[in-house]
Amino acid sequence: MRIGILSVAHLHAEGYQANLKAVPGVELIGFSHENPEEGRPFSERFGLRWFSTHQELLAQRLDGVVICSENARHRELVELGADAGCQILCEKPIETTLANAQAMKNVCDKNGVRFMTAFPTRFSSPTQALRTMVQQGELGKVFGVNGINHSENPSGHRAWFANKELAGGGAAVDHIVHLADFFRWCFSAEVIEVYAEIDNLFYPNELDVDTAGLLLITMSNGIQASIDCSWSRPTLYPRWGHLKIEVIGEKGAAVVDSFAQHLTVYAKSGARNPEWIGFGPDANQPMIQEFVNSIREQREPSVTWNDGYQALRVVLAAYESAQRKEPVQLEH
Q: Within 10 A of 315 (CB to CB), how many other CB atoms are there? A: 26
Q: Does the bond joining 93 to the residue before it have cis omega, within 30 degrees of 0?
A: yes
> Domain locations in the chain?
2-113, 121-281+305-329
Cα–Cα distances (Å) from 327 to 107, 227, 332, in that order, read: 33, 15, 16
2-113: CATH topology: Rossmann fold (3.40.50)
121-281+305-329: CATH topology: Dihydrodipicolinate Reductase; domain 2 (3.30.360)
Of 186, 272, 240, which Cα lies nearest the Cα of 15?
A: 240
Q: What is the DSSP string of 104-152?
A: HHHHHHHHT--EEE--GGGG-HHHHHHHHHHHTTTT-SEEEEEEEEEEE
Burial status of residue 287 (CB atoms within 10 A of its CB: 0-12, 13-18, 19 or more): buried
Given a contact cutoff of 8 angstroms between Cβ atoms, the answer to whether 71 and 95 are in contact is: yes
Cα distance between residue 272 and residue 308, in whole Å: 38
Query: Letter for the amino acid at 258?
Result: S
pLDDT, one tens digit for every residue, the chain (332 residues): 999 999 999 999 999 999 999 999 999 999 999 999 999 999 999 999 999 999 999 999 999 999 999 999 999 999 999 999 999 999 999 999 999 999 999 999 999 999 999 999 999 999 999 999 999 999 999 999 999 999 999 998 899 999 999 999 999 999 999 999 999 999 999 999 999 999 999 999 999 999 999 999 999 999 999 999 999 998 888 887 889 999 999 999 999 998 888 888 887 776 677 888 888 889 999 999 999 999 999 999 999 999 999 999 999 999 999 999 999 999 98
Residue burial 159-187, b: 16+ Cβ < 10 Å; e: rest = ebbbbeebbbbbbbbbbbbbbbbbbbbbb
